[in-house]
Structure 1
Amino acid sequence: MSALAAEPHPDAGNGWEDLVRRWESMDWPEGCKVEIIEGIITVAPSPANQHNGIAEEIQRRLYRVIPEDWGIYQTQAVAIPARAGMYVPDLLVAPKAALRESSGHFIPAAEAELVVEITSRSNANHDRIAKAAGYATAGVPLYLLVDRWAPGGPTVTLYGQPASDVYRVLRAVPFGEKIHLPAPFDLTLDTAEFPSA
């Protein structure tokens, strides 16, 4: 992963709007994931096959339980100005109306019902720390972290009940066990289906 420090251009304005304008207007490498994390524009390569396989397994199961007026998105950016963040979660569940009513390339993170991040070796700390705090700050009700690179071995953690910039851990399981997502999903995921290598 590489990062571009978000220092203001002498002729540009300062602050969040300038950072977003730079994020939207730069010519980024095709297929890369470009985010703003704590005020720094980061560029990561496209995910590995195992990463995409996990995303597909979760997405397939989510489609069975979400309402018709919600969607599941893999490349939708969400804005968290209070944390100088523009994240692109691996999966985002949000009402379809949130995308229809927002022009541009992002929606407010507060519109999300669930975000899923699947760690890559190069971005695991962002997903565990900065993004968890950002999603909690935005009030995203549920954050599912699929951490293939957790220090104690591959783990899936479900966060909920956001307060300020902190989540409560609702459940954490090693790969191979089941984890339940509460209402409005009421879905049990079998993590034995996730590749750990």
Structure 2
Amino acid sequence: MTAAMAGNGRAAGGRLWDYLLRTWRELDVPEGWRAEIDEERIVLVPPPHAHHHGIAAEAQRRLYGDLPEELEIYQTLGIHVAALGKLYVPDLVVMPSELIDTADPEVDDPMDAAEALLIVEVTSKGNARDDRTKKYRAYARAGVPMYLLIDRFDTRGAMATPFTEPNEDGTYKHSDPVPFGKPLVLPEPFGTTLLTDEFPV
């Protein structure tokens, strides 16, 4: 479950997004929690279950196997979906390391979601619906080429689904769900296979 912190940016004398972003930068978030901006408010996301971390770690380990040198995998990196005024903190983001290296060290701004090549979200029981709907639409709208949803709570059973070919209307043209227990082959530039039977459930 998420705990919301709301704020009216207009009351602070600035545009709402600027106010929310400034507040997001200044938040003292408890260790393990994440702060995101959604629906014109700041939302605190509690620490996930240990199995959630185990799945993210296994996915990261496999992705590193054949990742081109100019790309890097980032955990809990703030990304901004400009078209929707949202800021999410995915479990994993793959993007060119040069973008991180050249970011202003004095300003804690989120990265542009449009620069990500892959975003990975692992569902938790309390926020699985957001990963399946809001974040799915936001990442597609931002033009993220691949969104990998690892959903332990799918009604069909635990599933890993790569969504590809994003549309501006907030959908992906292609999806290929793979049940836990079967290998999931990711195309180039990743060129690796996730062994979903190694994911803790």
Q: TM-score range by the shorter chain?
A: over 0.9
Aligned sequence identity (%):
43
Instruction: Detail structure 1 runs of 4+ shifted over 6 Å in the superposition.
Output: none
Q: Secondary structure at the match of 1:10?
A: helix
8 Å CA contact 2:8–2:16 kept in 1: the answer is no
Q: 1:69 deviation in Å?
A: 1.6
Q: Secondary structure at the match of 1:192?
A: helix
- Structure 1: tracts of 5 or more residues without a match: none
Which string of whole-angstrom CA distances, capped at 9 and with x for unpartnered residues, describes residues 72-106 of structure 1? Answer: 11121111121121111101111111112222242
- Structure 2: tracts of 5 or more residues without a match: none
User: In the alignment, which of 127, 139, 144 is matched to residue 148 of structure 2?
Assistant: 144
Counterparts of 1:4-83 in structure 2 under 5 Å? 4-8=5-9, 10-83=11-84
Amino acid in structure 2 at the alignment position of 1:48: H
8 Å CA contact 2:10–2:16 kept in 1: the answer is no
User: In the alignment, which of 99, 116, 127 is matched to residue 123 of structure 1?
Assistant: 127
Are positions 1:175 and 2:180 aligned together?
yes
Question: How far apart are the structure 1 equivalents of 2:49 and 2:34?
Answer: 12
Question: TM-score, normalised on structure 1?
Answer: 0.93
Aligned length in residues: 196
Q: Secondary structure at the match of 2:133?
A: helix
Are positions 1:190 and 2:191 aligned together?
no
CA RMSD of aligned residues (A): 1.4
8 Å CA contact 2:136–2:147 kept in 1: the answer is yes
Q: Secondary structure at the match of 2:176?
A: strand
